[in-house]
């Protein structure tokens, strides 16, 4: 297939900050991690960032909890590298205050007393300003020769319901002082998240609720002048029945005799109850495939590129992450693509 036909198009390839969101339970962290690996393929350096204190990345790689530092977590083909950063809000806040006030040793005391949690409680927007500020710093950081340290930054972001307030620092700022250090700091974040460099990818399953939330998130992103990137369908299972039999099978119309005869011709002679069990499984499968087709049709209306990742029945281990990364490579994300 020519690269131009691939869902991961030139627009997406140009982005450097990839924000990955999705409804809870859709596999956001797995997809963000696979995307980071895919983008690192072919010798790129990619930073994978998590901001919710869940240590989801460490769990995926089956390593001890990540410290607040950029750590090597995986190598990618062609000497690519993925580093990971679990942002600790309190540490980031102290780091941030330290840029303007010399807190030194007192910082640790403040932290122990819960002062930081208190401050972020007073102004919920503050937490997001600090977190997005840290992400922006990693995206814009350069090496001695002026080259960006990271080719891409992938952010395992808050879920769809919270993504717009999280990124829309402008709104958060209305909570906060209109002047002072936080202002100049935030302007940089605002410029970055609204620019060509940033795309918000939406992970969903082919189920009613996650698709509804995805559509709502796309609408909200558009309204806030943030740029939706790709829709990534996660855990897609292969349809087994021919498309024309789906809707009748979903209504419970399955030709039991034909199945029985077909099985006999393969040397399988099943008892009646076994056959009925198979028929029941077939109906359930058809109902699900039917619902998936409807979910897909709803997403078609968005005009966004759609990528797919297969269901891995064996569960997700490190090897599986590479498999998913390859699947993304095959759809144009990262790898040897010529831009």
Partner 1 sequence: MDIDRLIDDRDTKVIVCCGSGGVGKTTTAAAIAVRAAERGRKTVVLTIDPARRLAQALGLAELGNHPRPVQIEGFDPKGELAAMMLDMRRTFDDMVLAHATKERADEILANPFYQTISANFSGTQEYMAMEKLGQLAHTGQWDLIVVDTPPSRSALDFLDAPQRLSTVLDGRVLKLLAGPARAGGSGLRKIVAGGFGIFAKAVSTIIGGQLLTDASTFVQAFDSIFGGFRERAKKTYELLRSPGTAFLVVATPEPDALREATFFVERLATERMPLAGLVVNRTHPLLTELAQPRAIAAAEHLEELGRAPLAAAVLRLHADRAALAHKEERLLARFAKAHPGIATIGVPALAGDVHDLDGLREIGLRLVGV
Instruction: Please give the residues from 178 up to 237 whose contact with partner 1 meets the rule CB under 8 A.
Output: 180-182, 208-209, 237
Comparing CB distances to partner 1, the nearer of 24 and 78 is: 24
Comparing CB distances to partner 1, the nearer of 33 and 329 is: 33
Comparing CB distances to partner 1, the nearer of 4 and 313 is: 313
CB of 205 to partner 1, least distance (A): 10
CB of 97 to partner 1, least distance (A): 5
Part of the chain binding partner 1 (CB under 8 A), chosen from 80-88, 148-156, 177-185, 194-202: 177-185
Instruction: Please give the residues from 227 up to 286 whose contact with partner 1 meets the rule CB under 8 A.
Output: 237-238, 240-242, 245, 255, 258-259, 261-263, 265-268, 270, 273-285
Total Cβ atoms within 10 A of residue 59: 12
Instruction: Work out whether 91 is an interface residue with partner 1 (CB under 8 A).
Output: no
Residues with Cβ within 8 Å of 73's Cβ and at least 6 positions away in sequence, in order, are 48, 57, 61, 63, 66, 82, 83, 84
Measured CA to CA, the distance from residue 270 to residue 257 in angstroms comes to: 12
Contacts with partner 1: how many residues (CB under 8 A)? 72
Total Cβ atoms within 10 A of residue 338: 5
Interface residue with partner 1 among 124, 191, 248, 297 (CB under 8 A) is 124
Q: Which of 131, 10, 37, 69 is nearest to 320 (CA)?
A: 37
Comparing CB distances to partner 1, the nearer of 81 and 90 is: 90
CB of 179 to partner 1, least distance (A): 9
Tokens at residue 278, please? Answer: 């198979």
Comparing CB distances to partner 1, the nearer of 303 and 314 is: 314
CB of 14 to partner 1, least distance (A): 33
Instruction: Please give the residues from 41 up to 60 whose contact with partner 1 meets the rule CB under 8 A.
Output: 52, 54, 59
CB of 135 to partner 1, least distance (A): 18
Measured CA to CA, the distance from residue 94 to residue 74 in angstroms comes to: 29
Comparing CB distances to partner 1, the nearer of 41 and 89 is: 89
Interface residue with partner 1 among 8, 15, 18, 23 (CB under 8 A) is 23
């Amino acid at each position: 297939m020519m690269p131009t036909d691939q869902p991961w198009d030139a627009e997406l390839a140009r982005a450097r900050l990839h924000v990955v969101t999705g409804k809870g339970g859709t596999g956001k962290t797995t997809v963000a991690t696979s995307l980071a690996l895919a983008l690192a393929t072919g010798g790129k350096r990619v930073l994978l960032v998590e901001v919710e204190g869940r240590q989801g990345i460490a769990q995926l790689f089956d390593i001890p909890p990540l410290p607040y530092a950029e750590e090597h977590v995986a190598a990618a083909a062609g000497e690519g590298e993925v580093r990971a950063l679990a942002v600790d809000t309190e540490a980031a806040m102290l780091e941030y205050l330290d840029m303007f006030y010399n807190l030194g040793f007192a910082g640790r005391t403040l932290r122990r007393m819960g002062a930081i949690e208190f401050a972020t409680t007073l102004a919920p927007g503050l937490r997001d300003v600090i977190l997005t500020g840290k992400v922006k710093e990693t995206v814009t950081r350069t090496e001695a020769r002026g080259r960006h340290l990271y080719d891409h930054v992938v952010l395992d972001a808050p879920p769809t319901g919270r993504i717009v307030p999280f990124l829309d620092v402008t709104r958060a700022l209305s909570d906060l002082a209109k002047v002072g250090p936080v202002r100049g700091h935030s302007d940089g974040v605002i410029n970055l998240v609204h620019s060509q460099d940033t795309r918000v990818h939406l992970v969903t399953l082919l189920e009613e609720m996650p698709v509804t939330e995805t559509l709502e998130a796309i609408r909200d992103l558009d309204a806030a002048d943030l740029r939706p990137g790709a829709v990534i369908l996660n855990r897609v299972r292969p349809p087994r029945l021919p498309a024309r039999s789906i809707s009748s099978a979903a209504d419970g119309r399955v030709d039991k005799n034909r199945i029985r005869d077909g099985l006999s011709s393969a040397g399988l002679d099943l008892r009646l109850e076994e056959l009925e069990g198979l028929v029941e499984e077939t109906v359930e499968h058809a109902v699900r495939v039917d619902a998936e087709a409807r979910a897909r049709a709803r997403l078609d209306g968005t005009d966004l590129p759609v990528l797919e990742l297969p269901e891995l029945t064996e569960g997700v281990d490190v090897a599986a992450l590479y498999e998913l990364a390859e699947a993304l490579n095959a759809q144009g994300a990262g790898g040897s693509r010529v831009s």
